[in-house]
């Protein structure tokens, strides 16, 4: 069984600045109420809660030049990037509690800079219903939580593309997307052009989650830093209703557990985002509770002793 001796620090970003629906700002507290920190501690991890960071309020304004709330999104992502960088510098695993998925630009940029500095390979697992690969020219909404992967690959406003020490932060071949079932028309052309590795629901149905995860994790070794960016809308809305952009036909409970268990088995997870939990749309905190359940598996919880 893979062990997780690596110490970890959680921090929250209480904002819905990149999303269309309000309420993801309450995500960090919902995850804490669902006993996220206690659950990770129970796995034997030295875990700290750094509390929440602050940032500009949501002005609820219309898109300007194709982007909604760009200045505010930049401010929140700078905060995320410096907090993740600080935690990585302490030799700990950053666990970012969103907030909406635009915040992964900050957390992942910090991880990419860190991996470059210490010469580690980086692989990003993007667990999502959406590809989040829109740009100003093709976005149907102007919402920046639909654009973080494109920005990380160099397509986006210079303030976001240039957040870190190196732009672009990621090469497309470092990314694997799993659970995808909603890609906008222009976005479809772009993910193809950039050759993003997408394991969509059809492929999962056809070959099964075990083989999908074997492919996704192929080549991961002791020299690899795995970043897991978990948008809870990857999950089927029947089990995870508390999120703003629900898409039917998502990953089921067993499949999700297997994903997390197989990631845990690599022992390579070095950072994690938990995003898009929206308590205002949830039923009795079910989505946060499920996320915590899955995080326990990510940190090595299993039914039997395995080796």
Ligand X SMILES: NC(=[NH2+])NCCC[C@H](N)C(=O)O
Catalytic residues: 101, 128, 130, 132, 145, 231, 233, 276
245 binds ligand X (CB under 6 A): yes
Figure out which of the listed residues 94, 106, 146, 179 binds ligand X, where binding follows CB under 6 A.
Answer: 146
Q: State in Å, rounded, how far the first CA of the chain is from the last one.
A: 5
Report CA torsion sign: 255, 122, 81, 6.
positive
285-294 in b/e burial notation, b at 16+ Cβ within 10 A?
bebbbbbbbb
| Residue nearer to ligand X on the CB measure, 9 or 243 | 243
| Residue 139 partner contact from Mn ion, ligand X, none using kind-dependent CB cut-offs of 5 to 8 Å | ligand X
**Site mask for ligand X (CB under 6 A), range 262-301, x = bound:** --------------x-------------------------
Chain residue at closest Cβ approach to ligand X: 146
Figure out which of the listed residues 16, 72, 200, 233 binds ligand X, where binding follows CB under 6 A.
Answer: 233
- Is 233 annotated as belonging to a binding site? yes
What does the CA dihedral 164, 132, 25, 234 come to, rounded to 10 degrees?
-130
130 binds Mn ion (CB under 5 A): yes
| Residue 282 partner contact from ligand X, Mn ion, none using kind-dependent CB cut-offs of 5 to 8 Å | none
Report CA torsion sign: 82, 86, 92, 98.
negative
- Is 130 annotated as belonging to a binding site? yes
Where do we find the tokens 């303030």?
159
CA atoms in the 13 A half-sphere facing the CB of 106? 33
What does the CA dihedral 223, 294, 248, 202 come to, rounded to 10 degrees?
40
Nearest to 125 by CA among 301, 288, 273, 295: 273
Q: Under rule CB under 6 A, which residues in 109-138 are in contact with ligand X?
A: 130, 132, 134
Question: Cα 240 to chain center, whole Å?
Answer: 16
Figure out which of the listed residues 32, 68, 69, 101 binds Mn ion, where binding follows CB under 5 A.
Answer: 101
- Known binding residues for Mn(2+) are 101, 128, 130, 132, 231, 233
Residue ranges binding ligand X (CB under 6 A): 101, 130, 132, 134, 139-141, 143, 145-146, 184, 231, 233, 245, 276
């Amino acid at each position: 069984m893979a062990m997780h001796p690596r110490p970890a620090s959680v921090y929250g970003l209480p904002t819905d600045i990149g999303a269309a629906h309000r309420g993801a700002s309450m995500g960090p507290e919902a995850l804490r109420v669902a006993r996220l920190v206690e659950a990770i501690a129970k796995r034997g991890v030295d875990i700290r809660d750094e509390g929440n960071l602050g940032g500009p309020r949501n002005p609820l304004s219309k898109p300007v030049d194709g982007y909604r709330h760009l200045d505010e999104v930049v401010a929140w992502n700078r905060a995320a990037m410096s907090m993740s960088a600080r935690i990585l510098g302490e030799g700990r695993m950053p666990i970012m509690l969103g907030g909406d998925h635009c915040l992964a630009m900050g957390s992942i940029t910090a991880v990419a800079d860190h991996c470059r500095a210490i010469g580690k390979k980086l692989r990003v697992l993007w667990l999502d219903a959406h590809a989040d690969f829109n740009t100003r020219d093709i976005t149907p909404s102007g919402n920046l939580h639909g654009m973080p992967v494109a920005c990380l690959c160099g397509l986006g406003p210079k303030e976001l593309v240039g957040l870190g020490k190196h732009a672009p932060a990621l090469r497309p071949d470092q990314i694997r997307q799993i659970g995808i079932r909603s890609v906008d028309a222009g976005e479809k052309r772009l993910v193809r052009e950039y050759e993003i590795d997408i394991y969509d629901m059809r492929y999962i149905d056809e070959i099964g989650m075990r083989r999908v995860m074997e492919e996704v994790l192929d080549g991961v070794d002791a020299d690899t830093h795995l970043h897991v960016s978990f948008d809870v809308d990857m999950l089927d809305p029947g089990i995870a209703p508390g999120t703003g952009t629900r898409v039917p036909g998502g990953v089921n409970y067993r499949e999700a557990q297997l994903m997390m268990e197989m990631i845990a088995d690599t022992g390579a997870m070095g950072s994690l985002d938990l995003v898009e939990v929206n308590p205002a749309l949830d039923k009795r905190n079910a989505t946060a509770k499920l996320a915590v359940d899955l995080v326990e598996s990510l940190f090595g919880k299993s039914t039997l002793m395995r080796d």
